[in-house]
Amino acid sequence: MGVYEKFSLAGKVAVVTGGGRGIGRAIALAFAEAGADVAVMARRQPDVDAVAAEIAAMGRRSLAITGDLTLERTIPDALDRVIAELGGLHIMVNNAGGNPDGLAHPVAEMSLEKWDELLAHNMRHKFWGSSQAARRMGEGGRIINVVSRAVVSATPGSGAYAAGNAGIVAMTKTMAVELGPRRITVNCIAPGVVETDYLKAHAAVRLGLTDLTPEGLQAFQPFAAPVGRIGRPDDIAAAALYLASPAAEWITGECIMVSGGR
């Protein structure tokens, strides 16, 4: 197999959660460009419909699936549909997550309910997505969990968010050993600050603004060093494509930081 072929996803079927916008959308489109058929999952039907249409325009098959990932049946039902309609499951990207209200939640001031909510939003469904995908994959599958650079850095107000993501890193390492005999690799990607609609909206909340202007984005420049810019969704998509491809078949149990070197 030549180098170019090692990055091909031809004949593969992928699922990307949180695939309607931002990083998830970029991953879904990158996989389709590399030859995969891609099912896109998110909460908003217009978002997944739009991404599925972009994938179809590339000549690939796609499914637009909506649902609440915190509900037990959402992921199993979606994966069964993917297998029935697209013919298999080879790549699972658990990308959805974040901080729903965008506010800082210092650990010493946080309620137990908020702690549980943030853990569920960032850990529970990624575990369930990984577990359910593994049950449906054959030999040589790929599971990719998108976490955050917060797993290795202290960010005030983000303790529960960081804990949930760090738990997924630990789970990923264990699953990599458990699934290794089936040649299923399990890895994490930990993005740094990436310019997305999510970042703009939630940063605006923290700054007390109705929207985050280009000037407001300058507040994130300290996060850009040493490369000199904050991230773009395509930066994360490139890493996901690598981990999903045959080129990365000997990489498992790892957490790759994609953060501009910060």
The pLDDT score that the predictor gives to residue 136 is 98
Q: 14 near 91, Cβ under 8 Å?
A: yes
The pLDDT score that the predictor gives to residue 112 is 96
Quick check: is 127 in a domain?
yes
Quick check: is 227 in a domain?
no
47-63 pLDDT, tens digit per residue, is 999 999 999 999 999 99
The pLDDT score that the predictor gives to residue 178 is 98
Give residue 188's domain range. Answer: 5-192+232-258
Quick check: is 200 in a domain?
no
Quick check: is 151 in a domain?
yes
**Nearby residues of 138 by Cβ (< 8 Å), 6 or more positions away:** 88, 90, 182
The pLDDT score that the predictor gives to residue 194 is 81
Number of domains forming the structure of the chain = 1
Q: Alpha-carbon torsion 24, 26, 27, 29, what sign?
A: positive
pLDDT < 50: residue spans in the chain: none
Quick check: is 40 in a domain?
yes
Give the pTM. Answer: 0.91
The pLDDT score that the predictor gives to residue 190 is 95
Quick check: is 62 in a domain?
yes
Question: Active-site residues: which are they?
Answer: 161
CATH number, domain with residue 9: 3.40.50.720
Quick check: is 186 in a domain?
yes
Quick check: is 206 in a domain?
no
The pLDDT score that the predictor gives to residue 151 is 84
**DSSP labels for the chain?**
--TTGGG--TT-EEEEETTTSHHHHHHHHHHHHTT-EEEEEES-HHHHHHHHHHHHHTT--EEEEE--TTSTTHHHHHHHHHHHHHS---EEEE-----TT-----GGG--HHHHHHHHIIIIIHHHHHHHHHHHH--TT-EEEEE--GGGSS--TT-HHHHHHHHHHHHHHHHHHHHHGGGT-EEEEEEE-SB--HHHHHHHHHHHT-SS--HHHHGGGGGGTTTTTS-B-HHHHHHHHHHHHSGGGTT--S-EEEESTT-
The pLDDT score that the predictor gives to residue 103 is 83
Q: 75 near 132, Cβ under 8 Å?
A: yes
